[in-house]
Structure 1
Amino acid sequence: MKTFQFQNRSTFRRLTWLLAFLGGAGMMDLTRAQQGAPEEPDAVVVTSNNGVLSRGNQIHQTNPGPWGDLDFFYTYLEAPDSLIDLLPVPSQQTVWRFPGIYLELVRGAFEEMGLSAELRKELEEHSIWHISDEGIRVHPSPKFVDSLPMQNRIALYRVLRRFSENPYHRNPIIIESGNVAEWFEGVGLSEHAVTAIEHLAYPLGNSLAFSDLPYLLSLMQSETEERAMLKAMTRTRTLILRLRIGENANFEALQDYWTAGFKYKDVLPIMESIQRVEGVERIDIAHLVPPLPRKLLYTFPSLSQGLTGRYPDSFWTALNFFEFWPKDEFLEKSAVERELRDHFEPIQPPFRYGDLLLLVEEQSRRAMHASVFIADDIVYTKNGSDLLRPWILMRLPDLMTRMATDERPMIEGWRRKPEANPTPTGP
């Protein structure tokens, strides 16, 4: 069986990343990825406080396959007001943390950036440096944050993204469409704020990323705008996926695919009813997934789901896909590893409905993320363990951009062993 680990970071790797930063490594590949990115389809702007979504009119077709005739449209989710009310307002002071790194290396890294004399002075005389045994903390001045050239921002933020101590860089706001104005349309942000985001957003894979939330907060003119901005930062793009069951459809093949080989037959009645009703040919895939993901899809976690001290993450989400009752032991690394070892087996493409897809770093064998294959390049996922990460459908290329670090992660497929299929039990 393949082996992997879940979170392992050493001082040696931190030094390696910083040395790569000194040489500008990774700057060009990010830029090339952005330049060569295909044009992104338009999205329908829909805001929701409760996960109920309205229809849009920008319809896109998936590739053909055993999943049948599928189309989808993009939409957006925002965290409900009840969650926004619980959020503490972040500090307006930008902090860059370099844990386990020597001062000489950090200073050398900034020197290698080729900053102008004015920016060097801003960094040295108007920024605050905290030096301790744990590492270096740099509090850059607002002027330095705003004036940092794009190529330097890309290289620097790529390094900061490696450390969980830099949450805004580790998990930046991802703008998959690459269009900032469209992404934040209708959310109450001022033109000045949108312009600032456009200026500070940087290419990440095929998307744009934004990490300067503290600086943006300092630009807000009122509590109303500040709240609108915080809500806008929770905006998550997802998609509505629909299956067409027409007169000429191979209904038996569709049944086989969407029941995972007739192992989960509870969706058969709704599929059969769509086929019988004249004039109705399409069904939202949300009605065909198992009961637990059907309940969670397009929603944000509730406070009660964190009673164990942790909220569901991608591994919990993926391993509970076919479970009748959620198993909170999947919040633990050891339980995830045991479940994969005992009840799953590695597979090669083509993937089918319900397969587990792991994103794995090639060299470290670190499992970064888990999702569930739905159809074509669409997966069911939850991209993080906090309250502001909803359960969504998204395209695999977008997911890989969101999860990428130094290198593009590998995709590993895992399929549940036939004898390991869940059976109905009480909670």
Structure 2
Amino acid sequence: MKWYDQVQEKENVVLAAFGHPLRPGPWGELYSTPFTIAAPEEVLPLRKLEETGTSWVFPHSHYSDVERLLESTGMPAYLQAELMEPEVLVQNPEGMEMRPAAKTLLALPAGPRKKLYQALLQHPENRGQITFIHKDTLGDRFGGTHNGEHTLMLFKQLCCEHGDYLVFSGLSVVLAQLPTYEEKRDFMRGLTSQRTLTLRVRIRPGADTTALANYWGKGIKSTDVRTIFESIAASPTGGTLALINVLPPLPSSQMFVYPVPDNPLSGPSPVRDCHWTSFNFFQDQPDQQLSDPVYFMQKLKEDYTPAAGDPRYGDIAFFSKPSGGVVHSAVYMADDILYTKNGATFTYPWMLETLTDLLKQYSFQVEPGEKLVVNYFRRKNM
């Protein structure tokens, strides 16, 4: 082996230790490392989740609207009748609420189930009742000591398929049929587990870090970011830095964290969904109104402009239907990586995810043959 081959082999070993290299760009020499996280046992309200049951809402709807929806799914007439029973479908001030029985949920055929789940997700209020599970992760999620084949079969019975994903609803049905605390706990841990990734930037010795600091120094003191990068570049061997260390305080503290319940004595809890997360990314103190669609759309008009050219760190990505309805938002980081929270409930952490995976998940909410549109918006002062 030639000396230069040995040098290249050593370099390849070093790069492999950093993770998977991202495409080159103004974000620098970035590497990603995939891993899986799950909600800690301490935040899993198992008894409450089991006792609460399944609840779907149809805002601003009437009995006849829900009846037409159920007919459009093609489900058998007897299942439509069960879902329209007075004790199942009730009127409330916001619209209609449906609390389906376990036997009805389990009996739904695959096609009508998918159409029903898609209709439910047209209303953000139902996002916490629907979970997306990548098919490749089933073994890792539910292959533990206390989850047997029966649990997996029960889970699949409550799912419909969408590309690489299983779409699940009916958590209380599963929990009610698991006899032990350990089985319930392990199922919830599996259900809440998420595939995510970390990002590290490599800074080579003697590198000019000005452009790198300009890219990542938004939202916090750019001089602090520049000082960190310059210090690493001044080292004889350079080094790597986890990007969580240069993020603004709020996302830095929330990254890979599952939300815990707020103190009820402090007043109404904010809805910390994707929009709350995206618009609060650079805030020193979170603006709790930013989950209100009217409020954040006003902020979008006043404080943001469509991003010119390629997206950059801190831009907000809006995922919209061709008709214009927004189904999700996330914060652009680098390459095809975004910072996201995929639901308002405790089952969804703040994390990093690829644009490809987000598009696959949220395409469930558009009609067959349609594609989601992604538009980027940039703060006017950045």
TM-score (norm 1): 0.70
Q: State yes or no: 1:379 paired with 2:342.
A: no
Are the aligned partners of 1:360 and 1:367 in contact in 2 as well (CA < 8 Å)? yes
Unaligned runs of 5+ in 2: 1-15
What percentage of residue pairs aligned between the two structures are identical?
Answer: 28
- Structure 1 window deviating more from structure 2 (150-159 vs 280-289): it is 150-159
Alpha-carbon distance change, 245 to 183 in structure 1, aligned in 2, over 3 angstroms = farther
The equivalences for 1:182-331 within 5 A come to 182-186=140-144, 188-247=146-205, 251-260=209-218, 264-279=222-237, 281-304=239-262, 307-311=266-270, 312-331=272-291
Q: State yes or no: 1:181 paired with 2:139.
A: yes
Residue 127 of structure 1: CA displacement? 7.6
Q: State yes or no: 1:139 paired with 2:100.
A: yes
How far apart are the structure 2 equivalents of 1:302 and 1:89? 15
Alpha-carbon distance change, 137 to 253 in structure 1, aligned in 2, over 3 angstroms = closer
Residue 163 of structure 1: CA displacement? 4.2
Which residue matches 1:154? 114
Which residue matches 1:100? 62
Alpha-carbon distance change, 175 to 399 in structure 1, aligned in 2, over 3 angstroms = same
Are the aligned partners of 1:97 and 1:166 in contact in 2 as well (CA < 8 Å)? yes
Alpha-carbon distance change, 177 to 350 in structure 1, aligned in 2, over 3 angstroms = farther
How far apart are the structure 1 equivalents of 2:319 and 2:135? 22
The correspondence for 2:23, drawn from 63, 77, 80, is 63
- What SS does the aligned partner of 2:348 have? coil
Count of aligned pairs: 353
Are the aligned partners of 1:300 and 1:387 in contact in 2 as well (CA < 8 Å)? yes
How far apart are the structure 1 equivalents of 2:294 and 2:256? 28
Which residue matches 2:329? 370
Alpha-carbon distance change, 163 to 369 in structure 1, aligned in 2, over 3 angstroms = closer
Alpha-carbon distance change, 244 to 150 in structure 1, aligned in 2, over 3 angstroms = same
In angstroms, what is the RMSD of aligned CA positions?
3.6
- Structure 1 window deviating more from structure 2 (247-256 vs 293-302): it is 247-256
Which residue matches 1:31? none
Alpha-carbon distance change, 246 to 308 in structure 1, aligned in 2, over 3 angstroms = farther
Residue 73 of structure 1: CA displacement? 2.2
Residue 351 of structure 1: CA displacement? 0.3
The correspondence for 1:401, drawn from 329, 346, 360, is 360
Alpha-carbon distance change, 310 to 204 in structure 1, aligned in 2, over 3 angstroms = farther
How far apart are the structure 2 equivalents of 1:320 and 1:302? 18
The correspondence for 2:377, drawn from 406, 414, 419, is 414
How far apart are the structure 2 equivalents of 1:224 and 1:262? 44
Are the aligned partners of 1:181 and 1:194 in contact in 2 as well (CA < 8 Å)? no
Are the aligned partners of 1:57 and 1:73 in contact in 2 as well (CA < 8 Å)? no
How far apart are the structure 2 equivalents of 1:78 and 1:296? 14
Unaligned runs of 5+ in 1: 1-55, 422-427
Residue 166 of structure 1: CA displacement? 4.7
Q: State yes or no: 1:129 paired with 2:90.
A: no
Are the aligned partners of 1:200 and 1:212 in contact in 2 as well (CA < 8 Å)? yes
Alpha-carbon distance change, 316 to 107 in structure 1, aligned in 2, over 3 angstroms = closer
Deviation per CA, 1:259-307, whole angstroms, max 9, x where unpaired? 2499733222222233233456322111121222212211223444873
Residue 375 of structure 1: CA displacement? 0.3
Amino acid at match of 2:257: T
Amino acid at match of 1:394: E
Are the aligned partners of 1:317 and 1:382 in contact in 2 as well (CA < 8 Å)? yes
Residue 204 of structure 1: CA displacement? 2.7
Deviation per CA, 1:312-334, whole angstroms, max 9, x where unpaired? 33223222222333333434444
Which residue matches 1:39? none
Deviation per CA, 1:383-421, whole angstroms, max 9, x where unpaired? 233333321111122223333412443222111113xx6
How far apart are the structure 2 equivalents of 1:236 and 1:305? 26
Alpha-carbon distance change, 201 to 273 in structure 1, aligned in 2, over 3 angstroms = farther
Are the aligned partners of 1:154 and 1:203 in contact in 2 as well (CA < 8 Å)? yes
Amino acid at match of 1:357: A
Deviation per CA, 1:364-396, whole angstroms, max 9, x where unpaired? x33333321100111112223333332111112
Residue 216 of structure 1: CA displacement? 1.7
Alpha-carbon distance change, 305 to 359 in structure 1, aligned in 2, over 3 angstroms = farther
How far apart are the structure 2 equivalents of 1:249 and 1:174? 42
- Which has a greater percent of helix? 2
